[in-house]
Amino acid sequence: MLTPVAYGLAIVLALFCVLIGVRFLTAPQAAATGYGVPAKADGDGAYLTIKGLRDLTFGVLGLALIAFADADAAAWYMLVVAIAPLGDTLIVLRHGGTKAVAFGIHFATAVAVLVSAALLFAI
């Protein structure tokens, strides 16, 4: 019973990373606004592209580990990847974003990733 839940949550989280990455690559201004810190229209778009590539890579790597490695490898991956949304929480708070976005999106994501890691470790 726990195995489908553990893998299901991990797959959903990895797919979300892929989708967020694609959004930053295809609609960077809108994605930055959704992130919680709107980008300046005349700012350096390279940084938004970097964010998109980072998230896309995280998602694809997570899916690869889920498909081709054991649960422990995927769990360790999730544990390490939780650093990104925790950092995103601090970035949003430091750069004028709202607490609702910082905690409601980024910190909640970190918690979900940590729960996913715990579930994967448990199977």
Confidence of residue 45 (pLDDT cuts 50, 70, 90): confident
d(CA 8, CA 10): 5
Nearest of 117, 121, 87, 116 to residue 102 by alpha carbon: 87
Q: Who has greater pLDDT, 41 or 93?
A: 93
**Using one digit for the tens of pLDDT, what is the confidence trace for 68-88?**
999 999 999 999 999 999 999
The full set of domain ranges for the chain reads 2-122
- pLDDT band for position 42 (50/70/90)? confident
pLDDT on residue 72: 98
CA dist 11 → 50, 76, 111 (Å): 23, 15, 16
The larger pLDDT score, comparing residue 1 to residue 19, is at: 19
